[in-house]
Structure 1
């Protein structure tokens, strides 16, 4: 697939998310985080939940990748897992819907059905595949996803603990070589130099989250360096 008239720019996308156990969990706070990212030069936002996306769109006009994280019994899939989450995102006004596109057993509809549903209900909405392996990237491209994201590498049973930047972004290189669709580097990009390296290797865009938008985790890194453990 060529990079024709894509809604996401080839640039930095900032993930503005805070889960329920985090101090910044608030749609209002995430909207201001997105505004700060915009003022800092970000060209896109990734956000979790309809409420957060709606609040963010009141603050910035940047394209938004929308997800809904929800756990389901009997399945490891938690990023936009079913039609319920798709409907919430279609109602949010997000530009791109990202979903788990791994080989993990899904809690309800097959991924092919979800793609057909989005293409039918909202043909102008783009789709991003969150994958963990090159084989999953190839399948996602065959299914017709607009973007392939390295998001879940290191977070699935068969890739646990790995990082996309290990051995000079070996996994990112593998995915870029395996598909023609635009590849979005996402996952543990912790420094500006790492971001630049991802683009130098051919990433279409990159999502940076915790290194920018999770002050609790950033503080822990400083404390570990100083004391050897979190306080």
Structure 2
């Protein structure tokens, strides 16, 4: 296993992202958030957008998983080879891309994308999967690490309120590559449960780095108690 990935074993990865139009939607702000979560113990950081990746790479000394969201429907997480090459050029050590079996905008297969990315760069590749079938296909495509990121978003599985533990169990049992649990991990207990089920690492985003949503949780609880 690559030492970079090994360094994340049993660790917490934190996704530092803000949505367009939000007050924190600024690359320098995301870099500061990344530095803060590393100080808190994050083993790696996930960053979205080319300038965010550049700023975050410069701000932290842990692995940076970079991606580029283009669009908001279908295959939009680093959807093409050109997106992946740009993320690698921005400095990400690991490029995360859509790891589903859905058609990609540039017509390439996942395997072709990974192969050409490896020919032209030395980055590692993370596949954001939505099902066990995606994960098995991504393994065959030659990626380095699997994520449950798109469980409940690609149309193959229902969207669970928290992590899709059933998919976690399936992937850990059937896949040879490390499995990172990502998606709707909203509490430390859920993160610990993911690792107890055999996950290699766990990625948390909203519950740590999205104050608008976190505030909403508390505001709703307070309103309900009145």
Query: Do Structure 1 and Structure 2 share a fold, with TM-score over 0.5?
Result: yes
Give the corresponding residue for 1:116.
115
Q: CA deviation at 1:199?
A: 1.0
Distance 2:141 2:156 in 1: 22
Q: Deviations over 1:36-67 (max 9, x none)?
A: 00110101000001100111122111100000
Give the corresponding residue for 2:185.
189
Give the corresponding residue for 1:218.
214
Q: Deviations over 1:79-121 (max 9, x none)?
A: 0001221121121111100111112221112222211111101
Distance 2:137 2:20 in 1: 33
Q: TM-score, normalised by structure 1?
A: 0.90
Unaligned runs of 5+ in 1: none
Give the corresponding residue for 2:160.
162
Give the corresponding residue for 1:78.
76
Unaligned runs of 5+ in 2: none
Listed as ranges, the matches of 1:84-95 within 5 Å are: 84-95=82-93
Distance 2:109 2:162 in 1: 27
More displaced, 42-51 or 83-92? 83-92
Distance 1:4 1:52 in 2: 25
Give the corresponding residue for 1:31.
31
Q: Deviations over 1:168-209 (max 9, x none)?
A: x22211111110100001011111111111111111111100
- Whether 2:125 is the aligned partner of 1:127: answer yes
Q: Select 2:198's aligned residue among 199, 202, 211.
A: 202
Instruction: Check the 8 A contact 2:163/2:182 in 1, yes or no.
Output: no
Instruction: Check the 8 A contact 2:45/2:62 in 1, yes or no.
Output: yes
- Stretches of 4+ aligned residues off by more than 6 angstroms: none
Q: CA RMSD in A?
A: 1.6
Distance 2:101 2:85 in 1: 22
Q: TM-score, normalised by structure 2?
A: 0.92
Q: CA deviation at 1:161?
A: 2.2
Instruction: Check the 8 A contact 2:178/2:200 in 1, yes or no.
Output: yes
- Whether 2:171 is the aligned partner of 1:175: answer yes
Instruction: Check the 8 A contact 1:81/1:106 in 2, yes or no.
Output: yes
More displaced, 105-114 or 173-182? 105-114
Q: CA deviation at 1:165?
A: 2.9
Give the corresponding residue for 2:13.
13
Instruction: Check the 8 A contact 1:175/1:183 in 2, yes or no.
Output: yes
Distance 1:219 1:30 in 2: 18
Q: CA deviation at 1:4?
A: 4.4
Count of aligned pairs between the two proteins: 221
Q: CA deviation at 1:159?
A: 2.3
